Amino acid sequence: MIRVLVLGPARWAPSGVATHVNRLFESNLAAEFSLAHFQVGSEGRGESRVGALIRLMTSPLTFAARLVRVRPRIVHINTSFDLKGYWRDVVYFVIAKALRRRVVYQIHGGALPADFFPRSRMLTWFLRRMLSWSDAVVVLATCQLPAYREFAPRARLVRIANGVPACAAELRAERYLADRALETVYVGRLVASKGILEAVDAVALLRKRDVLVRLTIAGSGPAEGQIRQAIASAQLEDCVRLSGAVFGEAKEQLWRAAHVFVLATHREGLPYALLESMACGVVPIVSPVGGIPDVVQDEVQGFLIPNRSPTALADALERLAKDRSRLYRMALAAQAQVTRNYSMSRVEEEFKSLYHAVIR
């Protein structure tokens, strides 16, 4: 059986990359490939600064020893184009190639390559060579392909969009048409760049308009204190709550009770939370960044709005709160879109083909 070493954060970490790694391990890929996990990054570790420094210093040796022990033919690196993640994963990339392993380099979001090192020709050259040296570079969004092809024409580029299992929720009309508060959710890491503070501001605007909306924010992260302060300052404790990170059945129950998913994010790949919510009939109000426009057509499955605009978000929420028939139609369209084009079975087949291709 072909061995694959998959690099990513702790599998219990509340992040999209961790969700992706879990999806791979839980999929039918495991029937054809022997998958092993190597944990990278600080997410899910709960370590001190000294512990983090020791880990950074020793992890290259730990990784090299793992390659020798497991002997994978493929190393699947899951990374994002932010400086911290990039430089961390470059080390693993170089070690894997030096030990003659095939490398699948999957990019889950961040800057486009031409914009990553705008002031350094040398670092830009190195990035181009690294992408070309990869046995496959996997991107999530259609809009990324031209940028990567122009930047690294010799790179072997593949688009594999994320996918999710089918949701068992039946979309009954009474869930959407009942005269009650519009149940709105955010699920993900609590960082300011996800537009969570704008969502809180939008609820405050809607209160002034006498539009009843309840917002549940599920997740954990460095912006939690800032979000709590924003809720308290706007006196929204009765209609905005932080539930902490949710997983498994608790997350399913959250999706099934919700009407709208909000993600006015500033930068993104292709969020699993978006696909999961749509599969369960939750209408997305999202920013048109990364792979999101591949999934959501404006005013068909949901609304595309500019980020950093609480007013635009409030306006979209108000339209759905006041037009429940439209909310229901969009929910049906959202579920159909994910069922048809973003299934986990499609992801399994595409990664099977890719893994076989890189070892030929």
149 and 203 fall within a common domain: no
Whether 78 is covered by a domain: the verdict is yes
275 and 218 fall within a common domain: yes
267 and 320 fall within a common domain: yes
336 and 352 fall within a common domain: no
48 and 90 fall within a common domain: yes
Task: Answer yes or no: are the C-beta atoms of 344 and 284 closer than 8 Å.
Answer: no
Whether 147 is covered by a domain: the verdict is yes
178 and 326 fall within a common domain: yes
> Residue 299's domain spans which residues?
173-341
Q: What is the largest CA-CA distance in the chain?
A: 63
Task: Supply the pLDDT for residue 43.
Answer: 72
Whether 266 is covered by a domain: the verdict is yes
Whether 96 is covered by a domain: the verdict is yes
Q: Which of 275, 269, 289 is nearest to 342 (CA)?
A: 275
Task: Supply the pLDDT for residue 44.
Answer: 64
Degrees to nearest 5, angle at CA 282 with 278 and 283:
90
221 and 308 fall within a common domain: yes
Instruction: Using CB atoms within 10 Å of the CB of residue 119, give its burial: 0 to 12 exposed, 13 to 18 middle, 19+ buried.
Output: exposed
Phi/psi of residue 204, nearest 5 degrees: -65, -40
Nearest 10 degrees: Cα torsion 165, 168, 171, 175: -110
Whether 168 is covered by a domain: the verdict is no
Task: Supply the pLDDT for residue 185.
Answer: 98
Q: Which of 142, 221, 235, 234 is nearest to 186 (CA)?
A: 221
How far is residue 107's CA from residue 160's CA, in Å, rounded to a whole number?
A: 10
Q: Which of 99, 105, 41, 32 is nearest to 70 (CA)?
A: 99
183 and 320 fall within a common domain: yes
190 and 305 fall within a common domain: yes
How far is residue 167's CA from residue 278's CA, in Å, rounded to a whole number?
A: 9
How far is residue 344's CA from residue 339's CA, in Å, rounded to a whole number?
A: 9
147 and 276 fall within a common domain: no
135 and 53 fall within a common domain: yes
Tell me, what amino acid is at 58? Answer: T
Q: What is the CATH number of the domain that holds 262?
A: 3.40.50.2000
Whether 320 is covered by a domain: the verdict is yes
pLDDT tens-place string over residues 98-157: 999 999 999 998 889 999 999 999 999 999 999 999 999 999 999 999 999 999 999 999
Half-sphere exposure of 18 (CA within 13 A, CB side): 17
Alpha-carbon Rg for the chain, nearest whole angstrom, is 21
147 and 64 fall within a common domain: yes
Whether 51 is covered by a domain: the verdict is yes
Which stretches of the chain are assigned E, i.e. beta strand? 2-8, 33-39, 74-81, 102-110, 136-139, 157-159, 182-187, 213-218, 240-242, 260-263, 283-286, 303-304
Task: Supply the pLDDT for residue 56.
Answer: 77
Task: Supply the pLDDT for residue 170.
Answer: 85
pTM attached to this predicted model = 0.90
How far is residue 300's CA from residue 65's CA, in Å, rounded to a whole number?
A: 51
Structurally, the chain folds into a number of domains equal to 2
Task: With a cut of 50, list the residues of the chain below it in pLDDT.
Answer: none
The H helix count followed by the E strand count for the chain is 15, 12
